[in-house]
C-alpha cells in the first residue's frame, strides 16, 4: 500500500479486526522528511469479575485503577446450573470503572457461570452459595414452642412462617 498527500492533507490508516491493545508500528519509506515510523501501544485493561452470596446475586466486573481504558465493548453471558443463559450483554469500562450485573428474581443458591472473552481479556467465574438446610423440632411445653435451625448455608432471603392449629392459622411470636 502506498500514499501521496498534498500539502495540508492527512491520511487515516485503520486496522480493522485486530487486537487494539497490541503494539503496531507504522513505517513509511521514500523521500519525504519528518517522522517515518510511529509505534502504537495502548495500555491493556486489567479486568476482574467477582460475585457475593447476597440477594440478589450480583456479578461485578472491574477494570483496575492503573489499567488502560477499554477501547471497545466486550460481551458476556451468565448461565445457570442447567446451562440456560440467564443474563447477557456487554460492558465497556474506563480505568477504575465497575459494572454490576444483578440476577434479580433468580434462585440465589443456584450455580451461575460468568463468561467473557475478547481483546480486553478472558473472564470466567463460577459462583455458588450454599443452600440453607432447615431442621424443625417442637417441644411439648406451654406455650407451644417450635425451633427452626439452619444447618446449611446463610439464608439470603426471609421465609414466611405459618402455624396452623385446630381453629385455623395462629399468629406466632418469633424470638
Contacts of 12 (CB under 8 A, 6+ apart): none
Answer for the pair 150, 133: CB distance below 8 angstroms, yes or no. yes
Q: What angle do CA 29, 31, 34 make, to 5 degrees?
A: 80
Torsion angle in degrees (nearest 10) through CA of 16, 18, 21, 23? -100
Interval 133-173: pLDDT, tens: 999 999 999 999 999 999 999 999 999 998 988 988 888 88
Q: Which residue matches cell numbers 446463610?
A: 154
pLDDT at 76 over 80: yes
Return the SS3 of 109.
Answer: coil
Do the Cβ atoms of 156 and 109 come closer than 8 Å? yes
The pTM (predicted TM-score) of the whole model is 0.83
* Res 88: pLDDT: 98
Mean pLDDT on 78-101: 98
- In this structure, the number of other CB atoms found within 10 A of the CB of residue 115 comes to 17
Amino acid at each position: 500500500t502506498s500514499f501521496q498527500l498534498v500539502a495540508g492533507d492527512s491520511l487515516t490508516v485503520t486496522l480493522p479486526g485486530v487486537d487494539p491493545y497490541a503494539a503496531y508500528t507504522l513505517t513509511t519509506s521514500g523521500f519525504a522528511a519528518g517522522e517515518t515510523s510511529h509505534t502504537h501501544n495502548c495500555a491493556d485493561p486489567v479486568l476482574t469479575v467477582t460475585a457475593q452470596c447476597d440477594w440478589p446475586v450480583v456479578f461485578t466486573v472491574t477494570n483496575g485503577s492503573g489499567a488502560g481504558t477499554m477501547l471497545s465493548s466486550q460481551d458476556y453471558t451468565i448461565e445457570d446450573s442447567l446451562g440456560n443463559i440467564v443474563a447477557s450483554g456487554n460492558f465497556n469500562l474506563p480505568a477504575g470503572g465497575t459494572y454490576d450485573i444483578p440476577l434479580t428474581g433468580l434462585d440465589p443458591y443456584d450455580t451461575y457461570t460468568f463468561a467473557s472473552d475478547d481483546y480486553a481479556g478472558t473472564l470466567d467465574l463460577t459462583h455458588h452459595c450454599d443452600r440453607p438446610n432447615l431442621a424443625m423440632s417442637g417441644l411439648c411445653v406451654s406455650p407451644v414452642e417450635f425451633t427452626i435451625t439452619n444447618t446449611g448455608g446463610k439464608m439470603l432471603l426471609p421465609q414466611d412462617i405459618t402455624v396452623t392449629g385446630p381453629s385455623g392459622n395462629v399468629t406466632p411470636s418469633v424470638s
